[in-house]
Amino acid sequence: MIEVELKVKVDKEEVEDLSHKLKELGFKRYGKVEEIDTYFKGIDRDFRETDEALRIRESIDLERGDRRYYLTYKGPKLDSISKTREEYQVKVEDGDTTKIILEKLGFKKVPPLRKVREIYKKDDVTVSIDRVEDIGYFLEFEKSVKSESEREGAIRELMDLIRTLDLDEGRLIRASYLELRDSYEEKG
In one-letter notation, the amino acid at residue 76 is P
The dihedral over CA atoms of 56, 61, 64, 65, expressed in degrees to the nearest 10, equals 50
**Catalytic position from the list 39, 69, 120, 137:** 39
Residue 39 designated active-site:
yes
Amino acid type, 68: R
Contact 139, 167 (CB under 8 A): yes
- Alpha carbon separation from 159 to 54, 87, 94, 128 (Å, rounded): 27, 21, 37, 15
Active site residues: 39
